[in-house]
Amino acid sequence: MEIGMSTEMYPPNICGRHCLGPLSFHKGALGTDVCLSLGGRRVERDRETFQNGLTFSSRPIRVQEKIHLRVECCDQHWHGALRLGFTIIPPSSSGPLFPPAMAIPDLTTTYGYWASIVPSSLIMPGAELRFWVTPRGMLVYEGPNGLRYKLLKGVDVTRPLWAMIDVYGQTRAVLLLGSEKKDLLKLRIRRSCPVPPPPSVSHRDSCMCVNEDHPCRTPQDYRLSADPIPTTQIDHSIDRDIAGDCVVCLSARASVVLPCAHRCLCLRCALRVTAEFGNCPLCRQSIRYSDEDRGIKS
């Protein structure tokens, strides 16, 4: 049993003693502009807004329980993208005005809520990702490229934790695919209750105006990329920090310029990414260095 966790906090293992229990979005704590479908596992935000998309897990999440998400829809004419995190505050006990418009900074300025932004370049329609909290209180994100990103540290793991998913900005809809957790001896993988296979992602439901390099064709009453969010509601320091830090370790400064011209990795992570994956984490372009470059880096 995890530290500080009571078995009474978790749902019964209806699929067997190794089942983690059902996993869906919390129906009693939803942003004002979202709706649920597919048994409470799919959440979609209204097209006309970038915010009011906060959601929470229907039950507490165990330490090291990896939550598996799929991005369903994106609207690139907004600023920013998905926010992920955890809270020790039970979502259903937070009052009638809960949840607020945004996870950051509306919740994260209060102790008991931890959330971090995910770079929008990693959030595309159909992208699958996982996130979890380690026994040391670190929030970890694993992107569709298979790389793991340390988003933040300091999460209180001595008390029950609910997952916090802010369907924000460019991210308009996500689907819970389930969760899994290795047992203490790492001899068995426990999973949440099985669910029916999800329908395929329809890319026509998304507005990919930035990637496709054409004017946005959304209705004119939507706020477009020229003025995506009122400036009073943007924490520019967060975006500058993400842009300047290595996108893999999020601790060292990005110092290596890849052949595709992206400056997104520190030297240590650049060597690892080149050896293990061979592609830029942002644009997926192959990393090919000349013999001279290899000599310099060796």
Contact between residue 96 and residue 29 where contact means Cβ atoms under 8 Å apart = no
pLDDT at 121: 78
The amino acid at 148: R
With bands split at pLDDT 50, 70 and 90, how would you rate the model's confidence at 248? confident
Assigned superfamily of 25-205: SPRY domain (2.60.120.920)
Average pLDDT across the chain, whole number: 80
With bands split at pLDDT 50, 70 and 90, how would you rate the model's confidence at 214? low
Assigned superfamily of 243-289: Zinc/RING finger domain, C3HC4 (zinc finger) (3.30.40.10)
If one compares 202 and 120, the residue with the highest pLDDT of the two is: 202
With bands split at pLDDT 50, 70 and 90, how would you rate the model's confidence at 220? very low
With bands split at pLDDT 50, 70 and 90, how would you rate the model's confidence at 294? very low
Tell me the two tokens of residue 19.
């089942």
For the entire predicted model, the pTM comes to 0.70
Is the pLDDT assigned to residue 250 strictly greater than 90?
Answer: no
pLDDT at 154: 95
If one compares 205 and 231, the residue with the highest pLDDT of the two is: 205
If one compares 217 and 106, the residue with the highest pLDDT of the two is: 106
Q: Break the chain into its structural domains and give their ranges.
A: 25-205, 243-289
Is the pLDDT assigned to residue 68 strictly greater than 80?
Answer: yes
DSSP string, the chain: --TT--GGGS---TT-TTB-----B-TTS--TTEEEETTTTEEEE-TT-SS--EEEBSS-B-TT-EEEEEEEEEBTTSS---EEEEESS-GGGS-TT-S-S-STTTTTTSTTEEEEE--GGG--TT-EEEEEE-TTSEEEEE-TTS-EEEEEE---TTS-BEEEEE--TTEEEEEEEEEEEE-TTSS-EEEPPP-PPPPPP-GGGSB-TTTTTS---S-TTS--TTS-S-GGG--HHHHHHHHHB-TTTSSSBP-EEPTTS-EEE-HHHHHHHHHHT-B-TTT--B----HHHHHHH-
With bands split at pLDDT 50, 70 and 90, how would you rate the model's confidence at 114? very high
Kindly give the pairing relationship between strand 148-153 and strand 66-74.
unpaired
The amino acid at 128: E
Contact between residue 192 and residue 179 where contact means Cβ atoms under 8 Å apart = yes
> Tens digit of pLDDT for each residue in 251-264?
788 878 777 767 78
> Tens digit of pLDDT for each residue in 20-63?
999 999 999 999 999 999 999 999 999 999 999 999 999 999 99
> Tens digit of pLDDT for each residue in 133-156?
999 999 999 988 788 888 999 999
Domains 25-205 and 243-289 share a fold: no
Order of strands across the sheet that contains 83-87: 54-56, 162-166, 83-87, 113-117
Range 284-297 average pLDDT: 52
